[in-house]
């Protein structure tokens, strides 16, 4: 037993005490055979013999020991033949309650860390740019954010897909619920299913004993951001589609289904439509995810936004600026790594430029090596008439393209407005580096 036990006979002589009684009260076994009343003058058990009634929860304290005692007479055919005392140590209760308090503090701290881990940092206000094509897309996405419609974000690496996903969550009714990002390309294919849907107790050897909730359950009432969705294994795609259609998940190894309420935002830098035609991505899942389509244009197609974006990346503790020549250079470069690359370049240059003005020599060498020749040539060349015409052509094309979608039918409308054939339109788009 965990409790201490002491038994006296009808004469008040101690007959039994267990080791726990000694541990809790300090009374040792040499009390056996002696009168309890004379050995421990304060003892209440002899009174129980006389009264024949039990008492529970009597608090006792001697020296540094605290304990609670229950006492009862032992009755045989209505006659009192002895009495028993059972005690529990309070020191242990105190210890346990202190331990519980410590564990509770830990839980609170972990919850705080979790929520900061998943807390969203960006809103639509943080998305910098005035480019009309981007503005129009932001407007549509903002409207869709409030709904529960799935949104598929497509754009090259570093164009801000994650930023948009966070902004969508922030603008939705789910903003105070979890935002759970999942990088589909970072999770090994054989773990993907258990990560997404969880597993039941005892499913895998070495797995968490009580089973584990999947990311879908963690995102319940919030947003699940499926990043790099193009890399989702084909068999998991079918399971994901089923979950999206039914709004229920089943942990691996479990029979029962659980209802989940999750908003899906997916993103990829790959051309998903192309993957569908190649049978690498399920068409049915694509249409399910692509209810609202957000194509983010690459930075080279909206170079006009470069100065404003640079401004947000410059350190604020000093009045940093970029000189005009350097700005022209940065606008000439094609930014294959898009805004992420631009941010890295500016971070680097700001460290190199101690005197608060960023000049060409502060830019990373690799960037200068790559583009300096073209830049110098450009700088020393006066714009020809055909340059100006070409620039105006591009600007006008972008202006009209923005107003229509990117299906062939819509593109035909654009071609009609511009008074060229569809083939010419595509050729000119290619010439001007306009991708979508």
Tell the smallest beta-carbon distance from residue 268 to ligand ATP (Å).
8
Q: Does 231 participate in binding Mg ion (rule CB under 5 A)?
A: no
Q: Which of residues 181-240 bind ligand ATP (CB under 6 A)?
A: none
Q: Which of residues 86-125 bind Mg ion (CB under 5 A)?
A: none
Q: Which of residues 143-162 bind Mg ion (CB under 5 A)?
A: 161-162
Q: What is the C-alpha end-to-end distance of the chain, expressed in Å?
A: 77
Output the CA torsion sign for 96, 100, 106, 109. Answer: negative
Q: 102 or 121, CB closer to ligand ATP? A: 121
Q: Which tokens belong to 407?
A: 């299906």
Q: Which of 31, 83, 87, 127 binds ligand ATP (CB under 6 A)?
A: 127
Q: Does 339 participate in binding ligand ATP (rule CB under 6 A)?
A: yes
Q: How far apart (Å, rounded) are the C-alpha atoms in residues 196 and 149?
A: 20
Q: 260 or 296, CB closer to Mg ion? A: 296
Q: 133 or 161, CB closer to Mg ion? A: 161
Q: Which residues pair with 70 in a beta bridge?
A: 86
DSSP 384: P
Q: Are strands 79-89 and 4-9 parallel, antiparallel or unpaired?
A: antiparallel
Q: Does 343 participate in binding ligand ATP (rule CB under 6 A)?
A: yes
Half-sphere exposure of 31 (CA within 13 A, CB side): 27
Tell the smallest beta-carbon distance from residue 168 to ligand ATP (Å).
12
Q: Tell me the DSSP string of 232-243.
A: S-HHHHHHHHHH
Q: 73 or 155, CB closer to ligand ATP? A: 155
Q: Which of residues 283-322 bind ligand ATP (CB under 6 A)?
A: 309, 312
Q: Which of residues 265-284 bind ligand ATP (CB under 6 A)?
A: 269
Q: How far is CA 369 from CA 28, 331, 336, 374, 417, in A?
A: 89, 16, 15, 10, 42
Q: For residue 326, how many other CB atoms are within 10 A of its CB?
A: 20
Q: For residue 19, how many other CB atoms are within 10 A of its CB?
A: 12
Q: 215 or 260, CB closer to ligand ATP? A: 215
Tell the smallest beta-carbon distance from residue 227 to Mg ion (Å).
5
Question: E strands along 308-415, which residues?
Answer: 321-322, 357-358
Q: Residue 178 binds which entry of ligand ATP, Mg ion, none, with Cβ cut-offs from 5 to 8 Å by kind? A: none
Size of the site for Mg ion (CB under 5 A): 2
Residue ranges in contact with ligand ATP by CB under 6 A = 127-129, 155, 157-163, 269, 309, 312, 339-340, 343
Q: Which residues would be at the binding site for Mg ion (CB under 5 A)? A: 161-162
């Amino acid at each position: 037993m965990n409790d201490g036990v002491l038994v006296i006979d009808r004469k008040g002589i101690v007959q039994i005490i267990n080791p726990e009684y000694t541990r809790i009260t300090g009374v040792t076994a040499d009390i056996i055979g002696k009168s309890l009343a004379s050995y421990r003058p304060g003892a209440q058990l002899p009174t129980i013999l006389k009264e024949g009634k039990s008492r529970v929860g009597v608090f006792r304290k001697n020296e540094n020991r605290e304990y609670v005692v229950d006492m009862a007479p032992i009755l045989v055919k209505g006659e009192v033949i002895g009495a028993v005392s059972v005690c529990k140590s309070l020191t242990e209760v105190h210890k346990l309650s202190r331990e519980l308090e410590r564990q509770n503090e830990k839980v609170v701290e972990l919850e705080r860390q979790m929520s900061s881990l998943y807390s969203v940092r960006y809103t639509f206000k943080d998305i910098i740019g005035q480019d009309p094509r981007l503005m129009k897309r932001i407007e549509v996405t903002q409207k869709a954010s409030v709904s529960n419609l799935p949104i598929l974000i497509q754009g090259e690496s570093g164009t801000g897909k994650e930023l948009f996903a966070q902004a969508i969550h922030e603008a939705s009714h789910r903003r105070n619920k979890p935002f759970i990002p999942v990088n589909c390309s970072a999770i090994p294919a054989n773990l993907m299913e258990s990560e997404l849907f969880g597993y039941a107790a005892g499913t895998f050897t070495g797995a968490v004993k009580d089973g584990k909730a999947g990311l879908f359950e963690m995102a319940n009432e919030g947003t699940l951001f499926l990043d790099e969705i193009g890399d989702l294994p084909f068999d998991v795609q079918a399971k994901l589609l089923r979950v999206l259609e039914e709004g229920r998940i089943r942990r691996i190894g479990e029979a029962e289904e659980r209802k989940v309420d999750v908003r899906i935002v997916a993103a990829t830098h790959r051309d998903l439509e192309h993957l569908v035609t190649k049978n690498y991505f399920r068409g049915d899942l694509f249409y399910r995810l692509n209810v609202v389509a957000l194509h983010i244009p690459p930075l080279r197609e909206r170079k006009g936004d470069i100065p404003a974006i640079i401004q947000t990346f410059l350190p604020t503790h000093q009045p940093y600026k970029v000189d005009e020549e350097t700005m022209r250079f940065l606008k000439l470069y094609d930014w294959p790594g898009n805004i992420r690359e631009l941010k890295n370049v500016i971070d680097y240059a700001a460290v190199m430029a101690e005197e608060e003005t960023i000049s060409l020599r502060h830019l990373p060498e690799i960037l200068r090596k790559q583009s300096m020749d073209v830049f110098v040539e450009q700088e020393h060349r006066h714009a020809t008439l055909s340059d100006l015409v070409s620039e105006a052509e591009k600007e006008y094309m972008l202006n009209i393209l923005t107003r229509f979608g990117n299906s062939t039918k819509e593109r035909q409308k654009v071609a009609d407005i511009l008074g060229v054939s569809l083939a010419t339109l595509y050729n000119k788009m290619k010439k001007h580096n306009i991708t979508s």
